[in-house]
Amino acid sequence: MGNPIENFENSNRLRQRAHQIIPGGCHTYAKGDDQYPILSPGFIASGSGCHVRDVDGNEYIEYGMGNRAVGLGHAYPPVVKAAKAQLDLGCNFTRPSGLEVDCATAFLDIIKTADMVKFCKNGSDATSAAIRLARAVTGRDLIARCSDHPFFSTDDWFIGTTEMNAGIPKVIQNLTLGFRYNDLSSVQDLLTRHRGEIAAFILEPARNEGPKDGFLHKLQDLCHQNGALLILDEMITGFRWDIGGAQKAYGIVPDLSCFGKALGNGFSVSALAGKREFMALGGLEQTSKPRVFLLSTTHGAETHALAAAIATIKVYRNEPVISHLVEQGKVLTAAIGQIAVAHGVDKYFGVQGHPACLSYFTLDDQAKPSQAFRSLFLQETIRRGLIAPSLVVSYAHGKEDVAKTLDAIDAAMAIYKKALENGVGKYLVGRPSNVVFRRFNRLKLKTSADPVAENTL
């Protein structure tokens, strides 16, 4: 991929200013400086397809794809054209736009397990509305969330269960319980200990592994037998497992489900969908139960975002997007596995997950999960023109992109091997990255713009 990328002068200057005026230096924790090595681009200037350019003019093949929100590729022409056309007509009015009906129709045409849908701007809005609705339906307070799935919402009901729960009252924290994926005994244990108290179970349909032995269907049976709702969070699996979501792939009809991310190919739009008997509680026609304040956001149905969603859905319906994602993911999985074996690091580095939504694990010389080795892998692939916090492909990732990716990973694995033999501190510049959900910042965050960026491993 040419000369190693080592110049981040403009990024480092912006970093200094960003941390002075923005808590965390950005507006999404997963994009923060603590998630990347010191030698990394801090700010992206533009993107096209699966390629991005940082503020220093460095070019990369990207595999984060906007935290999985960009399924077709950056600035995908039909989607951008639809959004631009709508912007010329205005994006927000005093009364609803006809696009709200059009988009709901297009959405429900592909998510056939749902009867009604309501749009909003981000995934947290949708999942929190689902929680509120489940509590209203059941008259219960407790929520059970899958402890194996890392993120559901920025709201208190979920953040209170993490290490980063400062500012959330204990009484709120105690209302959310945890169960394990593919572990019905953990579900049954909660139902026994909190009989008649749990309003809903919420989980992703799949993560790094899929449901085993009919887990989702058996979970749903237990929910319904005990008067609880089943909520599927399809922020990631939607528009990757199947055009109809993982619920279609696995043949299950949830009570409520939440979509977002790739729904608008990067435009801000998400959705709460579900059965009419539940969703109608947030409407104007039912009179038998108290009204539910379901979702009401000034920007929830911005017309350009809905136009982008309609255009995105059209592409997914007319082109082989899902099959392309799966095919490229399978190629990456097989080839990277071979590269790891060739370098003798296959016990320490590997690819996991659904082909359309791959991640990787990094282990140290003791075969324990290591942020330092993760940072080293990121550092070395960034130097070679990749931004790969995950290995999530888009419709824009072609054969040439994948070939360049494999070359970069091959070279990075050679450094990984040396680090296993000689110590990661000899190769990683500065401090390692860190997990998002931590109670304290133990170390001062340094960037390569600091006078000294010493190792702190």
pLDDT digit string (tens) for 328-374?
A: 999 999 999 999 999 999 999 999 999 999 999 999 999 999 999 99
Question: What's the confidence (pLDDT) of residue 439?
Answer: 82
- CA dihedral angle for residue 165, residue 66, residue 203, residue 103, rounded to 10 degrees: 120
Question: What's the confidence (pLDDT) of residue 2?
Answer: 66
Question: What's the confidence (pLDDT) of residue 119?
Answer: 96
Question: What's the confidence (pLDDT) of residue 172?
Answer: 94
pTM of the model: 0.91
Q: Domain 9-75+321-426: which topology?
A: Aspartate Aminotransferase, domain 1 (3.90.1150)
Residue 189 backbone phi and psi in degrees, to 5: -60, -45
Residues of the chain with pLDDT under 70: 1-2, 442-457
**Model pLDDT for residues 129-170, shown as the tens digit of each residue:** 999 999 999 999 999 999 999 889 988 899 999 888 999 999
Question: What's the confidence (pLDDT) of residue 321?
Answer: 98
Question: What's the confidence (pLDDT) of residue 457?
Answer: 32
CA 112 to CA 60: how far, in whole Å?
38
CA 279 to CA 133: how far, in whole Å?
8
Question: What's the confidence (pLDDT) of residue 434?
Answer: 81
Q: Domain 77-318: which topology?
A: Aspartate Aminotransferase; domain 2 (3.40.640)
Which ranges in the chain are annotated with CATH 3.90.1150.10?
Answer: 9-75+321-426
